Amino acid sequence: MTSMRYLAAAAAVLAIAVTAFIAADRREPAPDLSYTLLDGSRHATTELRGKVVLVNFWATSCVTCIKEMPDLAATHDRFVTRGYETLAVAMSYDRPDYVNHFAATRRLPFRFTHDEDGSLARGFGDVRLTPTTVVLDRQGRVVERIVGEPDFNALHALIDKLLAET
């Protein structure tokens, strides 16, 4: 009878472990939201499906955000030909003229939007701190959320892995 208890206990532990493993691999879908790029063109987050996407919430008043922009540009340039996209989202409290000036003078290679009403920040988990980076897989699911400047070596490894997935 004792061996039956051990077997039952082992089965319970295995069931819990399998459930935890499956739950850990579940990726939440990115929100379905509309946004306007600085050039005036309207888009939706659903259009980004099929690509690995980095969504970077930033502000012109955020020193770390400004510091990481060249690294974000280098990351974009490194992976763009493999199906990668970057969307820089300026926070709602940012002045539109500051956002436009920053994007125009830096000539960064990725898309910029100003989250005027805060809907993107709310939709992506009520983002309040900058920089916050959200990485999406090709199915439009949130894979990683990073508050603060990313470890770019780790970020590149993650992007490389996601681009290799089908």
Q: Are 33 and 70 in contact (CB under 8 A)?
A: no
> In the structure, what pLDDT confidence band is assigned to residue 27 with cuts at 50, 70 and 90?
confident
Q: Are 148 and 64 in contact (CB under 8 A)?
A: yes
Q: Is the pLDDT of residue 26 over 90?
A: no
Domain spans, the chain? 28-164
Share of the chain above pLDDT 70, in %: 84
Q: pLDDT tens-digit profile of 31-48? A: 999 999 999 999 999 999
Q: pLDDT tens-digit profile of 86-144? A: 999 999 999 999 999 999 999 999 999 999 999 999 999 999 999 999 999 999 999 99
Give 3-state DSSP helix, strand, coil % of the chain, rounded to 5.
45, 25, 30
Domain 28-164 part of CATH 3.40.30.10? yes
